Amino acid sequence: MEDLLRPIYQERAGNASTLGIVIIEKTKPNSPITDNFDVILLIIVDEAESKWQEKHYEFDGKIAAMHTVTEELLMEWIDTSGYRKAVEWIIDGKVIFDRNEYLSQLKDQLRNFPHEKRDLRKAMEFGKLVKSYSEVKDLYTSEQYKDAFSRMVHSLHYLARLAVIEKGYHPEVTLWNQVRQIDPEVFKLYDELIQSDEAISKRLQLMIIASDFVISTRAEVSAKHLLSIMETKEDSWSYGELKQNGKVSPYQLDLTAMLSYLTEKGILIAERIQTKGARVYQRKYRINDE
């Protein structure tokens, strides 16, 4: 298969802007990692008119997809989990062209998963988790059990991704198989929600209690990225100041939920600042050092 595609990728390898080329072949009938293509070609370039181009090919009854991606976009995907399959392509794919050991170094970086990048990813997943979990409790209280069940599945998905990142791994497409081996406690929560014979309302009630404990014990570590930013000044932070901080931008849509949850758990303290309006205060946040 690689021989048939060689004329296609050799042309790209001869381009000075090409940093590396990886090939990933389908190994089973249903292959989410390759989008059910028989083969994926990932070509990484340092610059291009379009950040991401995709072309499809057919040969000998097989189909292939070629993705040409700029290094800038690829790193954004890696840092924010914007396109998870790309990480697996790089880690598990076969390198067929590597300029100046670019891919070799990138593979090592992905396997090592530096702590600063890990902290960012944890904050992103934690923000999604607490926002989704808040929606679960609201829906449960409103007796919208089916919607609450759906949101709980999403919440556990975020929790699972968080658990994987905590252990120093990148979440894979086959997430729950990964979690089964890495964090049995989180896998058990998911298994009990899905497999239990209890009524949906009862399952949700038990899951909310269990999840609240699991999330709260992870909160401070998961929010380390945000807390580290808040430690950079002695004064309290307004919501606007935090939102405008460029380092927060990857999870700014979930920032309100994070601040609310961390305040509820006593990790942050909300201070009231007098405004010009009578009995109207601005709410600012600081880390609870007590």
**End-to-end CA distance of the chain, in Å?**
63
| CB contact set of 269 (below 8 Å; sequence gap of 6+) | 263, 285, 286, 287, 288
Question: Rounded to 5 degrees, what are φ and ψ at 22?
Answer: -125, 145
User: Which among 81, 88, 114 has a CA at the least distance from the CA of 251?
Assistant: 81
Do 86 and 123 lie in a common domain? no
pLDDT at site 60: 82
Written as six digits, the tokens of 103 are 């891919």
Altogether, the residues listed in the chain come to a count of: 290
The SS3 assignment for 198 reads: coil
Residue with tokens 């697996």, as numbered in its chain: 88
CA gap 113, 126 in Å, rounded: 18
Decide which of 60, 90, 112 is a domain's last residue. 112
74 with 164, same domain?
A: no
Mark the ranges of the chain whose per-residue pLDDT is less than 50. none
Domain shared by 88 and 133, yes or no: no
Q: Which amino acid is at 248?
A: V
Q: Which of 112, 138, 172 is the last residue of a domain?
A: 112
Q: How far apart (Å, rounded) are the C-alpha atoms in residues 83 and 59?
A: 27
Classified as helix, coil or strand, 113 is coil
Q: Sort 232 into a burial class: Cβ within 10 Å, 0-12 / 13-18 / 19+.
A: exposed
List the structure tokens of 49: 């008119």
Q: What is the DSSP string of 52-86?
A: EEEEEEEETTEEEEEEEEEHHHHHHHHHHTSSHHH
CA distance readout (Å), 40 to 3, 36, 79: 14, 10, 22
Asked if 152 and 180 sit in the same domain, the reply is yes
Cβ(133)–Cβ(155) below 8 Å: yes
pLDDT at 201: 94
Note down the domain range covering 174: 115-287
CATH number of domain containing 105:
3.30.460.10
Q: What is the CATH number of the domain that holds 199?
A: 1.20.120.330
Provide the 8-state DSSP code for 172: P
Domain shared by 201 and 264, yes or no: yes
Considering the domain architecture, whether residues 165 and 150 belong to the same structural domain is answered as yes
Shared-domain flag, residues 76 and 178: no
Give the C-alpha separation, 82 to 146, whole Å: 29
Q: What pLDDT shows up at residue 156?
A: 95
**Whether the Cβ atoms of residue 242 and residue 270 lie closer than 8 Å to each other:** no
Q: pLDDT tens-digit profile of 115-147? A: 888 999 999 999 999 999 999 999 999 999 999
What is the token pair recorded at 209?
């209690």
Q: Using alpha carbons, select from 36, 35, 11, 38 the residue that is nearest to residue 23.
A: 38
Same domain membership, residue 171 and residue 139: yes
